[in-house]
Amino acid sequence: MWQILLNRFKQGYRTIPYPKSVPSFPKRYRGRPVDVKGEVNLGELLFNEEAPKGDFTYSQDHRLAVSKKEDLILKDNEIKLARALDEKTKRLFGRSLKLRQVCAGGCSGCEAELQVMNINVFDLGRFGIQFVASPRHADGLVITGPVTKNMELALKKTYEATPHPKIVIAVGSCAISGGPFRGSSEIRHGADQVVPVDLYIPGCPPHPLTILDGLLRVLDKLDKH
Partner 1 sequence: MSFEKFYVHNGQSWPLEQVPVMDEASFRREILKSCETGGRLVNLFGYHAQDKNLYLCAVIGMDQEGKLSVFAARMPGGQVHFESLTPVLPQAHLFEREIAEQFGIIIQGHPWLKPVRSHQDYSFYEIRSEETHEVAVGPVHAGIIEPGHFRFQCHGEEILNLEIQLGWQHRGVEKMMAEISLERAMLVAESIAGDTVIGHGTAFCNIIEALSDTEVPLQAEMIRIIALELERLANHVGDMGALSTDIGFLPVSAYFGRLRGEFLNLSMELCGSRFGRSLCRPGGVLFSLGPEMIEDFRRRLLKAQKDFMEIAELFFSTSSVLSRLESTGRISRQTAEELGLVGPAARSCDLERDVRTDYAFGMFRFQHIPVSTVVSGDVYARALIRRLEAQRSIEFLLEALDQIPSGELLKKPSALKPSHMALSLVEGWRGEIAHVAITDAQSRLMRYKVKDPSFNNWIALSLAVRGAQISDFPLCNKSFNLSYAGHDL
Give the interface with partner 1 as residue ranges (CB under 8 A).
Answer: 3-4, 7-8, 10-11, 14, 25-26, 28-30, 46-50, 58, 100-116, 119-121, 131, 133-135, 145-146, 148-151, 154, 158, 179-181, 183-187, 204-205, 207
Question: Does 106 participate in binding ligand SF4 (rule CB under 6 A)?
Answer: yes
| Residue 150, contacted partner among partner 1, ligand SF4, none, CB below 5-8 A by kind | partner 1
Helix (H) or strand (E) holding 118: none
Of 197, 217, 214, 195, which is closest to residue 206 (Cα–Cα)? 214
d(CA 93, CA 167): 10
Cβ(146)–Cβ(152) under 8 Å? no
Cβ(171)–Cβ(187) under 8 Å? no
For partner 1, the closer of residues 68 and 161 by Cβ is: 161
Cβ(189)–Cβ(55) under 8 Å? no
| Residue 215, contacted partner among partner 1, ligand SF4, none, CB below 5-8 A by kind | none
- Give the binding range for ligand SF4 (CB under 6 A) out of 70-78, 123-131, 172-180, 213-221: 172-180
Of 196, 194, 210, 188, which is closest to residue 65 (Cα–Cα)? 210
* Angle formed by the axes of helices 109-116 and 208-218, nearest 10°: 70
Of 187, 73, 195, 86, which is closest to residue 143 (Cα–Cα)? 195
| Residue 222, contacted partner among ligand SF4, partner 1, none, CB below 5-8 A by kind | none
| Residue 135, contacted partner among ligand SF4, partner 1, none, CB below 5-8 A by kind | partner 1
Q: What is the dihedral of CA 22, 28, 29, 35, to 10 degrees?
A: 100
For ligand SF4, the closer of residues 33 and 145 by Cβ is: 145
Question: Does 173 participate in binding ligand SF4 (rule CB under 6 A)?
Answer: yes
Beta bridge pairs of residue 39: none
- Taking the complex as a whole, the smallest distance from the CB of residue 76 to ligand SF4 amounts, in Å, to 25
| Residue 43, contacted partner among ligand SF4, partner 1, none, CB below 5-8 A by kind | none
| Residue 119, contacted partner among ligand SF4, partner 1, none, CB below 5-8 A by kind | partner 1
User: Which positions touch ligand SF4 (CB under 6 A)?
Assistant: 106-107, 109-110, 144-145, 172-174, 179-180, 204-205
